[in-house]
Structure 1
Amino acid sequence: MLNVPTLRQWRYLVTLAEIRHFGRAAEACFVTQSTLSAGIQELETQLNAALVDRTKRKVVLTPLGETLAGRARELLREAEEMVLLAQAAGAPLTGPLRLGVIPTISPFLLPGVLPSLRRKFPDLRLFLREDLTGRLVDQLQAGKLDLLLIALPFETGAIDTMPLFDDAFLLACRSDHALAGRGSIRLADLAESNLLLLEDGHCLRDHALAACQLPPSPRRDGFAATSLHTLVQMVDNGLGVTLLPKLALDAGILRGTDVITRPLAGAAGGAGAARQIGLAWRRGTQRAGEFRLFGDALLAAVQQTASASDKTEKA
């Protein structure tokens, strides 16, 4: 019978592979440096193979060590999912859930829906990570995140998605801009305008260009913003026009500015020019059913928030 290494030993190797420092890896594993070092040596003895080259300046894994660290990362992820699956069998969406959210969704959607989610799943411990889509996908694949709330479409690789709702784009400009007097904006008008966008790396930039059938590099005079709030301030200062998602508009991003919005022609209310908000998780995960339940609850909370907002406006 094989003498199989423990999950703890594999975690030592994975952590060392990620941090490349014995002292800091030990801290991350909540053990002493001597304990982690001894655990790695025991692992090498059991496998009868060198996994780590120890030098005074840095830690270097051998080719076999790199390969086994990658496989061990998958093993640890599966072990964690087995525990979470057992917990969910008794009560779904209990315990920790690490959710990655992009910055063009997080501040505009989450404040309105989190209270409802907490009431529905009181034992859920939701940990939030805000970052750009590409980095969130990398963290998902590495097992550092469980679930993503992102804008689709996005080339995600071996990931399953659950579309939730469409988020329409509207043109935003100052009230004294030439386009402000029009009832709706033609896509051709955007190509001739000084269109301000988020900087490269933000998927909202790509979605806006694709939805409005604009070229990848419209005229922007070299200006780009790192957030929607900065983009709005640039428009408010007369630097150009932009495209904003309805999600941000409903959250009051234009409050206190002289910026107005106009729908895009070609579809009722500009609904044809939109991004799709959805969830994403690793393909093959045993928690897919649980994540779909979370998606259903999230969509219900969004609809409830929208309904309450409509009633307030009519009142």
Structure 2
Amino acid sequence: MTPLPSPQQLRYLLALADLGHFGRAAAACAVTQSTLSAGIIALERQLDAALLERGAGKRPVFTPLGLEVVERARQALAALEAVAETAAAARDPLTGPLRLGVIPTIGPFLLPRLMPALRQAFPRLRLWLREDQTERLVAQLEAGRLDLLLLALPCACTETETLPLAPDPFLAVLPPGHRLAARERVPVAALAAERMLLLEDGHCLRAHALEACGLPPAALPGEEGFAATSLHTLVQMVASGLGVTLVPRLAVEGGVLAGTAVELRPLEPVGEATPPGRTLALAWRPRSPRAAEFRDLGPTIAAAVRGA
């Protein structure tokens, strides 16, 4: 029988690949650097293969085979963890740790009312939060470092299972006294002639706002390379008269306009279409053993979105 690598050896290898430093990898695994190095050397001997280039300097350099083994090790550990998760979920669902990734245009506005609701509904659930942009959260989900994502659709997350929770329509934010503020609703077509202020590249809300206006990135008038890093900054730019923007209703209800004198107007839908916006959703790895648990979380999160 072929001797198999141990889970600990694979954890050493993944820590080194993810952190790129022997000392940091050892600390992450709660072992000494010599223990981690010895574990990886033992793994190479066991596989009769060189996973690292020797003499390449202080930073670890993986051989082509080593890079392939890293990805196989990631899949193997995820499968092992799924075995334990399946048993735990069947024994006592929605308890223990859950690593949740949230995008920055949702987290600050929803979590203050969501967290108390989750604590009340699932008192034995221990939630660990990670806030980041969609692309990086999806990568961490696929790598097994996160269990569940709370994000906005549409998104580049085709390799995940998703559960739509609630619509989150856009509202137009206008400088004080802006001509469009004279209307009860702002036609989307009217925004094409305005200087649209948006979040920087990487935020999915930027793409959602452009799509809502029917604008490609190159068509933005007078952008001059300026973009905000947060919705709060975006609103302050509008309040200073630099342009107009779109913000989700969730952010408005979460207080993003507090302390400003901006004008807020709903968007006018085109024909029978629903008002432009995004859809809040959960996403997880396909065939996750905790998929049923994640679906059970959906109603509680959707209720928090509605403010119920």
- Please tell me whether the aligned partners of residues 198 and 205 of structure 1 are also in contact (alpha carbons under 8 angstroms): yes
CA deviations on 1:1-44 (whole Å, 9 max, x unpaired) are 22222111111112122223322221111111221122112212
Gaps of 5+ in 1: 308-315
The alignment's C-alpha RMSD in Å is: 1.8
Cα distance in 1 for partners of 2:60, 2:215 equals: 48
Could you tell me how far apart the structure 2 residues matched to 1:110 and 1:91 are? 25
**1:139-158 map, 5 Å:** 139-158=140-159
- Quote the Cα distance in structure 2 between the aligned partners of 1:278 and 1:71: 30
- Matched residue, 1:126: 127
Distance 1:170 1:270 in 2: 16
Structure-2 separation of matches of 1:186 and 1:179 = 9
The alpha-carbon deviation at position 92 of structure 1 amounts to: 1.0
Residue 257 (structure 2) aligns with: 254
Residue 239 of structure 1 aligns with an amino acid whose one-letter code is L
TM-score (norm 2): 0.93
Supply the distance in 2 between the matched residues of 1:238 and 1:186 (Cα, whole angstroms): 20
Bigger shift: residues 239-248 or 263-272: 263-272
For residue 267 of structure 1, report the CA deviation from its aligned partner.
5.5
CA contact (8 A) 1:170 1:270 kept: no
The 3-state SS of whatever aligns with 1:179 is helix
Q: Select which of 239, 244, 266 maps to 1:241.
A: 244
Mean Cα deviation higher: 105-114 or 260-269: 260-269
Maintained 8 Å contact 1:197/1:225: yes
Q: Out of 95-104 and 257-266, give the one that drifted further.
A: 257-266
- The alignment partner of 1:180 has SS state of helix
Whether contact under 8 Å (2:210, 2:217) holds in the other structure is yes
1:150-169 correspondence runs (5 A):
150-169=151-170
Q: Secondary structure of the equivalent of 1:224?
A: coil
- Look up the match of 1:265: 268
1:7 maps to 7
Could you list the runs of 4 or more consecutive aligned residues of structure 1 that deviate by over 4 angstroms after TM superposition? 267-271
Write the deviation string for residues 154-192 of structure 1: whole angstroms up to 9, x where unpaired.
121311111101100111112311111111111221011
Correspondent of 2:303 among 300, 312, 315 = 300
Give me the whole-angstrom Cα distance separating, in 2, the residues matched to 1:80 and 1:201. 31
What secondary structure does 1:188 align onto?
Answer: helix
How far apart are the structure 2 equivalents of 1:192 and 1:103?
Answer: 28
**Alignment match, 1:42:** 42
* Partner of residue 229, structure 2: 226
Per the alignment, residue 181 of structure 1 pairs with: 182
Paired residue total: 305
Q: TM-score, normalised on structure 1? A: 0.91
Partner residue of 2:290? 287
Task: Give the CA deviation at 1:271.
Answer: 4.5
String of CA shifts for 1:39-85, please: whole Å, max 9, x gaps.
Answer: 11221222222222232433222222211111011111121222222
SS in 2 for 1:161: strand
Query: What does 1:23-38 align with in structure 2 at a 5 Å threshold?
Result: 23-38=23-38
CA distance in 2, matches of 1:20, 1:195: 40
Aligned to 2:62: 61
Unaligned 5+ segments in structure 2 are none
State the SS of the aligned residue for 2:186: coil
Q: State which drifts further: 95-104 or 54-63.
A: 54-63
Name the CA distance, whole Å, in 2 between partners of 1:260 and 1:123.
Answer: 43
Match of 2:74 in 1: 73
Task: Name the structure 1 match of 2:88.
Answer: 87
Q: Which moved more, 1:17-26 or 1:139-148?
A: 17-26
Question: Which deviates further from its counterpart, 255-264 or 55-64?
Answer: 55-64
Matched-pair contact (CA < 8 Å) for 1:211–1:272: no
Q: 1:297 to 1:127 in 2, by over 3 A?
A: same
| Structure-2 change in CA distance of 1:243 and 1:269 (3 Å) | farther
Report deviation, 1:268.
Answer: 9.4
In 1, Cα distance between the equivalents of 2:272 and 2:134?
27
Which segment is superposed worse, 276-285 or 206-215? Answer: 206-215
Alpha-carbon distance between aligned partners in 2 of 1:152 and 1:79, rounded to the nearest angstrom: 31
**Quick one: distance in 2 between partners of 1:170 and 1:143?**
36
